[in-house]
Structure 1
Amino acid sequence: MPPKAEVRKVSDPADLEKVFAIRREVFVGEQNCPPELEWEFEDESTHFLATVDGEPAGASRWRKTDKGYKLERFAVLSKFRGYGVGQELVKAVLADLPADATYVYLHAQIHAVTLYERFGFEKTGPEFEEAGIRHYKMVRK
């Protein structure tokens, strides 16, 4: 039986450093995102940390924008991919959104589109590039 991911909302500095370390490894290290594009809106975001058997495995966040609620920075460390960590992160973030979150959207990397489709998100508009990576805007219906 594969290990089960646990996801929790985090705000203390020690847990946030784990979140940022995961994002640094996945986005800056693996995907070559410019660091200056990776670190923005941290103070206005609600952050989540996924662990597997107590070990940091993934991260994500949501924040309120002028358009609605944006889900962002979904990252799963390579050794934990394929075990449902991403799905657990999406579930936790969606469950944490305020009751007035009627417009929920994200910018999905091409390879993650099917994950978000499972949660009711639909592609809107053309493919675009963000931080050198191909994305689609997706909105939850």
Structure 2
Amino acid sequence: MPTPEKRKIQVNKATEQTDLDYVFAIRREVFVGEQNCPPELEWEFEDESTHFLATINGEPAGAARWRKTDKGYKLERFAVLSKFRGYGVGQALVQAVLDDLPTDADYVYLHGQIQAVPLYDKFGFEKVGDEFEEAGIRHYKMVLKR
């Protein structure tokens, strides 16, 4: 891994099939491989979601998406490959997704894994309600306070 000053994080919307393949491979490795999420829960709402691919020096490193639901705009599937954690990829993904939301996105929420709550706190998300389990992992619903 290059030294920090030579590491270039870039986040782009994933619209080409090649980029989407990277997005899905990253999610498969992180959620299904590392976290033992059932694959059938991982692959839903793909066509109605806006996907993002993060790279470091051009190498696929992380993924995320947003989609419109009946409640508002939900940020989902934030995943960073283990070898790229701790370099700011997660923060870059959250910022890119927030920047991409429509201007009328007045209710923005997510289901944050408990270890990721501090990351989302930095962007103005607040926990709402009690801790809950989703796919065997502890989460909090978090809502963006503007």
Query: 1:32 is matched with which residue: 30, 36, 57?
Result: 36
In structure 2, the gaps of 5 or more residues are none
Query: 2:103 is matched with which residue: 99, 104, 111?
Result: 99
CA distance in 2, matches of 1:113, 1:4: 25
Residue 118 of structure 1 aligns with which residue?
Answer: 122
TM-score, scaled to structure 1: 0.99
Q: Note if 1:55 corresponds to 2:59.
A: yes
Residue 46 of structure 1 aligns with which residue?
Answer: 50
TM-score, scaled to structure 2: 0.96
SS across alignment from 1:83: coil
Q: Is the CA contact (8 Å cut-off) linking 1:57 and 1:76 kept in structure 2? A: yes
Number of matched residues?
Answer: 141
Residue 131 of structure 1 aligns with which residue?
Answer: 135
CA RMSD of aligned residues (A): 0.5
Of the structure 1 ranges 93-102 and 8-17, higher mean CA displacement relative to structure 2 is found in 8-17
How far is 1:4 from its partner?
A: 2.8
CA distance in 2, matches of 1:83, 1:32: 24
Residue 15 of structure 2 aligns with which residue?
Answer: 11
